[in-house]
Structure 1
Amino acid sequence: MHDVFADDGPVQLFIHDDDETPLEFVQDLLRTVFGKSKQEAIASAALIEAKGAIPCGPYPAPVARALFNSAKWLIRSNGQPLMITTESADASRPCDLCEAPKAVSEIFLSGTTASLCCDCLLAARRSSEELPGDAFKFAATALDWHFAGMPRNQILTRSRQFPGHMRADVQIAIDRQLAKPIHFFGIHEQYRYETLDFAALMKAGRYAPAIAPPQYHDVDIGEAEPVKCLVNGLWLCSSDELRYAVLLTFHREYNYESSLRIELMVPAGAAGNAFVQRTFAELETAVDVARSYRGKILSLEVGPNYRGRARGVAVHRLPTVDRDEVILPERTLRLLDGNLLDFVGSRDLLRKLGQSTRKGILLYGPPGTGKTHTIRYLATNLPGHTTLIITAEQVGLLDAYMSLARLLQPAMVVIEDVDLIARSREDMGGPCEESLLNKLLNEMDGLKEDCDILFVLTTNRPEELESALAGRPGRIDQAIEVPLPDTVGRDKLIRLYGKGLPLEPSVIDEAVQRTAGVSAAFIKELMRRIAQTSIVRDGGETVTAADIDDALNEMLFDGGRLNVKLLGGAQGMSAS
């Protein structure tokens, strides 16, 4: 084998990639043996991964021999398989950029191969887009390459956090703002209980965060397709000659909602600071504009270990309830129209006249009379309104609900069975729910006069609210009774819930007479049982008065008094 060191001519050394030698060892070799700076070593090691090998030199033969022997000794003593080869070089070539007769290395730049000296190599590496993304294996390498030539103490990071239940809106905003990055990477998160940040990404060594395929969660926003939300991601970007990086991840806290965290890495100084302020302002505007849940019917999800912060948003897909499906007395319908539908339509004029545009409504009446059905009618017919449905058990989440209401207004906030939070501590045997009712009333009173938020409270026991509401006038603008159906209402309900049955007028009349004092829920169940009886007899071809007798006997007598109460029947009803 020819000894290239025996010739008088210059010699080039080639360092080859073997996919086994740690990147940190290669960087250390380049620094300790070949005298490269830290940034130069990082750039050169990345090139080795990208191209399979890079040349070092050319050097005079004696220098090349000394470097080769030192490198081989370091490789053997550390038990690494890294390979270094030698090749004769005719003469030192000038740098393609500065034209100085220095030792050069070849790199791929702007679609062609260039021979650059160490100084120009470092400058060229500031254009990290020239390196294919799959050349990077670790986040630290990608960041060092992206900010090459800039000391770490001249780089700073700033962050913003968003509630976890806003992740769909944040994802939509991020996708719009970072549509054309230089590079985008997913990041492998080894320890899910720790918050991943840029400080962690800059770590090298055995536990360095690795670049990985991006991971997404599908988040339902009530549309045909869910929003594909990123678990964590790293963007390398540039703007007006300013290099920056963006990290999306989660701030985790045991038993609490994970906050969505956006962190920016920029050069220190006035330009970087101005860029951060502008970028976060644009991001927050984009999040506000996204509003994936606007105009939908929502509630906050809770888990068994819930501690008072939202874990996510559930979207309720409720069928539209038409007005003719709301069987209520005419006076009740007029109150609903005037205080809700007409009120919403007049908001702009009310605001111009200096009047408040917030509203509080109390729907009260016996169980099963249609309060929930009425809420569904309002929720599916109020134009452009977001409906937030809060059960009594979720009143502790009122702060989160109110934040959503303010963000997504115009909104309707529904608190069902509000009497359950108005009872005394002795009655409930737990924390003082009376304070929760006061908190609710304070939230209603604390809203700005021009906010577009409707409160609709429902209760089966209005007497338990009277003292609290009377002592805080102005929170409820209108109480609306949802009574037991009258004769006309029962006729409409029987026809509505029996619309698929062959009902003769005489049968309808008898059913109306026999159901005086019952709830709408009772009539709905009655019609189902009549249908069952008819199916057993002749496949649902006919309905007779006897079918009514059979259904009423089963509902009123066979099950006892408790069954009558559970079904919403009236005491004293007869079967015949």
Structure 2
Amino acid sequence: MPGYRFVDLDVALAEIQDRGGPAQLLGIGGGEQRNHHSLGELLEMGGRFGQFPIGAVDYASVATGPATTREAVSFGLRLFTYAGGPVVVLQRAAAARYGAPNGRMEILCPAAGGAAALIAEVRELMVRRSVLRGQVLTLGGSDFEPGIGGITFQQRPELAPDDIVLPDGLLDRLHRHVAGVARHRDRLRAAGQHLKRGLLLYGPPGTGKTHTVRYLLGALPELTVVLLSGPSIQFVTDAARMARALQPALVVLEDCDLVAENRDFGSGGQPLLFEVLEALDGLSDDADVAFLLTTNRVEVLEPALAQRPGRVDLAVEVPLPDQRARRLLLLRYARQLTLSPTVIDEVATRIEGMTASFIKELVRRAVLIAAEADRDTTDGDLTTATDEMLDEAHGITRSLLGGADAFDEQ
């Protein structure tokens, strides 16, 4: 089994063992040699030659969330009763240097069909009790964050609706399309409607697409979420497989235009694009899985990705903020400052065509100007920061932060 499934195996076996009456958990001695032998060989050689005596159980501390761990059995014997008879299970973690790249269990059971029944129940419990269920995950692994077997656990964001400044009704549409389908899955199935769905968020850089995704992750704690961006998009097939097992689930592909450009623009298309399409098509219609894609360049998206039901059912533009949105964004980022409504309105008018990222930097710049003068931020600091940010000398900065006309005069 993959490395990230081993802790689920530990959870499943512990649950079955605990409910089966009297049980024991034993370790096996014998040093490194034990890693080269099967359960049958260990028992035979231990009984005949005393080479593998009873010893301490080996454990490994395994992440089960962003801030939680579990002491999982990495090498040990579980002795318990199952289906009315005795069972011995050897549970061992992956040991690549001994030729065992994956964790596994080995079973001895005298009852006919007992081992097969145990395996089937373990598999079912590994899905139902999975430590990945309800988590926010990224694939690819990290040396600095908690994770297991190439999967990293992320803290689920906590954003209030007031933290999101979007056109009226847009957030409700997204929430209904992701969560509403999950909530009413039985009615939809009864009516012969598919559950899998695709959403596309598009708009200029810096308008708040990622921020909107973060809100949805926090607002839908019942969903298992797999985040893919940059190089990790190569794991889209694995993400779809995990989402299907852990549904209801959401797979997020950020900046999907990097792999899903229209094939007419290049020669031969991108192999990764085909993986994305296959992942979307490979899910059955009744899979409670949503794909959420974001892009800055909707005009170059592959039509096969964007124009087929079941791939993308809802496309929503996250536009440049209008006057009302710019004012709300200024108030949001400056909520800890004392600024007059008049100046807020004036600046909101002056920065027409700018993005949320630009506005966030604008307020930060005003605070920095005041900090250098060793005083609180004033209306004048916000005005000065606006002058600087809008100055032609900062055209490059405006383009990077989302200015609409940074190169118009070049």
Give your verdict on TM over 0.5: yes
1:350 Cα deviation (Å)? Answer: 1.7
Distance 1:339 1:195, change over 3 A: farther
Shift of 1:476: 0.9
- Post-superposition Cα deviations, 1:487-508, rounded to whole Å, max 9, x if no partner, equal 1111111111111111111121
Residue among 517, 538, 543 paired with 2:378: 543
**Partner of residue 346, structure 1:** 184
With normalisation by structure 1, the TM-score equals 0.62
Deviations 1:58-116 (A, max 9, x none): xxxxxxxxxxxxxxxxxxxxxxxxxxxxxxxxxxxxxxxxxxxxxxxxxxxxxxxxxxx
Secondary structure of the structure 2 residue equivalent to 1:400 = helix
Query: Per-residue deviation at 1:258?
Result: 3.9
Is residue 16 of structure 2 the alignment partner of residue 173 of structure 1?
no
Partners of 2:239 and 2:37 in 1: how far apart? Answer: 28
- Write the deviation string for residues 426-456 of structure 1: whole angstroms up to 9, x where unpaired: 9999xx7623222222222232211111110
Aligned letter for 2:122?
Answer: L
The CA distance in 1 between the partners of 2:213 and 2:205, in whole Å, is 14
Distance 1:274 1:331, change over 3 A: closer
Distance 1:210 1:340, change over 3 A: same
Percent of counterpart pairs with the same letter? Answer: 35
SS of alignment partner, residue 380 of structure 1: helix
Check whether the contact 1:248–1:262 (CA below 8 A) recurs between aligned residues.
yes
State the match for 1:44 in structure 2.
Answer: none
* Match in the other structure for 1:379: 217
Structure with the bigger RCO (C-alpha within 8 Å, sep 6+) is: 2
Query: What is the one-letter code of the residue matched to 2:397?
Result: N
Who is 1:230 aligned against? 73
Return the match for 1:198 from 39, 62, 66.
39
Q: Which of the residues 241, 247, 262 maps onto 2:105?
A: 262
Equivalent position SS for 1:412:
strand
Contact map agreement 1:392 1:417 (CA 8 A) in 2: yes
**Which consecutive residues of structure 2, in runs of 5 or more, have no partner in the other structure?**
none
Residue 39 of structure 1: aligned partner: none
User: Within 2, Cα distance between the matches of 1:558 and 1:210?
Assistant: 79
- Using a 3 Å threshold, how does the CA distance of structure 1 residues 186 and 552 change in structure 2: closer, same or farther? farther
Separation of aligned partners in 2, 1:484 and 1:525: 16
> Is the CA contact 2:321–2:353 (under 8 Å) kept in the aligned structure 1?
yes
CA deviations 1:279-327 (Å, max 9, x no partner) are 22222232232122222211223379xxxxx823222113311112111
- Mean Cα displacement is larger for which, 414-423 or 209-218? 209-218
1:321 is matched with 159
Matched residue SS, 1:361: strand
Residue pair 1:196, 1:250 contacting (<8 A) in 2 also: no
Q: CA shift at 1:222, angstroms?
A: 2.6
Q: Give me the whole-angstrom Cα distance separating, in 2, the residues matched to 1:323 and 1:479.
A: 20
What letter corresponds to residue 62 of structure 2 in structure 1?
Answer: V
2:4–2:151: 8 Å Cα contact kept in structure 1? yes
- What are the equivalent positions in structure 2 for 1:44-193 lying under 5 Å apart? 162-179=1-18, 182-187=23-28, 190-191=31-32
* Residues 1:360 and 2:198 aligned together: yes
Amino acid at match of 1:370: G
**Which residue is 1:459 aligned to?**
295
Instruction: Give the CA deviation at 1:553.
Output: 4.9
CA RMSD across the alignment: 3.4
Aligned residues: 399
Q: CA deviation at 1:334?
A: 4.6
Distance 1:448 1:513 in 2: 49
**Cα shift readout 1:3-28 (whole Å, capped 9, x = no counterpart):** xxxxxxxxxxxxxxxxxxxxxxxxxx
1:27 maps to none
1:489/1:242 CA distance change after superposition, 3 Å = same
Distance 1:199 1:559, change over 3 A: farther
Q: Cα 1:516–1:279, aligned 2, differ >3 Å: closer, same or farther? A: same
Distance across 1 between alignment mates of 2:118 and 2:275: 37
Selected match of 1:497 from 330, 333, 346: 333
Give the 3 Å change call, closer, same or farther, for CA 243–349 of structure 1 in structure 2. Answer: closer
Give the structure 1 partner of residue 117 of structure 2.
278
Task: Please list, as runs of the form range in 1=range in 2, the aligned pairs for 1:285-304 lying within 5 A after superposition.
Answer: 285-302=124-141
CA distance in 1, matches of 2:238, 2:316: 28
Shift of 1:169: 2.0
Normalising by structure 2, report the TM-score: 0.85
CA distance in 2, matches of 1:373, 1:303: 23
Quote the offset at 1:403 in angstroms.
1.9
Q: Distance in 2 between matches of 1:244 and 1:166?
A: 22
Aligned to 2:321: 485
Deviation at 1:420, TM superposition (A): 0.8
2:234 is matched with 396
- Is the CA contact (8 Å cut-off) linking 1:368 and 1:520 kept in structure 2? yes
Greater shift after overlay, 438-447 or 339-348? 339-348
Change (3 A) 1:515 1:341: farther
One-letter amino acid matched to 1:438: F
Q: Is the CA contact 1:424–1:434 (under 8 Å) kept in the aligned structure 2?
A: no
Relative to 1, partners in 2 of residues 1:331 and 1:266: Cα closer, same or farther, differing over 3 Å? Answer: closer
Give the Cα–Cα distance (whole angstroms) in 1 for the partners of residues 193 and 184 of structure 2.
11
CA, structure 1 residues 262+491, in 2 after alignment: closer, same or farther (shift >3 Å)?
Answer: same
Structure 1 residue runs of 5 or longer lacking an equivalent are: 1-161, 305-309
